[in-house]
Amino acid sequence: MIGVPLCDLCANVRRWDDLDVFIKICGITNVEDALLATALGADAVGFVMSSSRRQVSERVVRDIVSQLPADVMTVGVFRDMGKARVVETVNTIGLRAAQLHGSESPATTRWVAERVPVTIRALAAGSPDLERFDEFGADLLLLDGPAPGSGEVFDWSMADPRLVSEPMLLAGGLNPGNVADAIGRVGPYGIDVATGVEADSGRKDPRLLRAFMTNARAATPPQSAEYVGDTNQRPFDWQEEDGPMENS
């Protein structure tokens, strides 16, 4: 991990040793969905900052972030955007994490990681880059399907959390009907969903979102799942010595 220790960033999202899986709701486009997700207990919400049917402007994201609880991780999702622009965006509109979801190299990812609080590197299942993930310097791996953002489920046997030493977020086709099975079979640190809780593109369905959260929280990870990285650098302990970080 590169940059500021995660435990120094924010306070009281949850302890690492809690049994609950870390839940990120991505593709947020409006404040109503963001507030609903956090009210239901989401640990993080994601905003697509690059070209996409779910893309939102910096002005809209800044406004949404300003209305969220201070203990929620706010994530900007970027795809092959200039590294300086990624850092500027994260640090000027109040985001707490950059998710790089394109072809960003290890060098680019490390450069970003040195300048933002938290970095998530997304890779497709089966990517050869998984074998050198430590070179990216990211705090978390987001493992997606072969067609990232498609909402399609992939073979979960390709999603062994022990592939990398950093915590893994599982994405790709998750929905209320399969999320408990995914957690039970894979045992990821966290999960990421967008399409699986949408009413239509860019808007969340409250019933699907509630069911997803309920089923994810009720899921039982496999007994063999355990963290294999540096136990002194486990992210999202979020205990800050000097109090919560305020939105910028």
> Active-site residue numbers?
26, 144
Check if the beta carbon of residue 45 is closer than 8 Å to that of residue 25.
Answer: yes
9 neighbors 243 (Cβ within 8 angstroms): no
Q: Helices marked H in 67-205 — which ranges?
A: 83-92, 106-113, 179-186
Give the CA radius of gyration of the chain. Answer: 16
Separation CA 238–CA 241 (nearest Å): 10
Q: Rounded to an integer, what distance in angstroms lies between the CA atom of residue 181 and that of residue 219?
A: 8
Question: What is the Cβ-side half-sphere exposure of residue 46, based on CA atoms within 13 angstroms?
Answer: 25
Q: What are phi and psi of 74, to 5 degrees?
A: -105, 125
DSSP-derived secondary structure letter, 129 = G
Residue 108: strand, helix, or coil: helix
Buried b (16+ CB within 10 A) or exposed e, 8-33: ebbbebeebeeeebbbbbbbbbeeeb
Do 6 and 238 form a contact (C-beta atoms < 8 A)?
yes
Asked if residues 69 and 51 have their Cβ atoms less than 8 Å apart, the reply is no
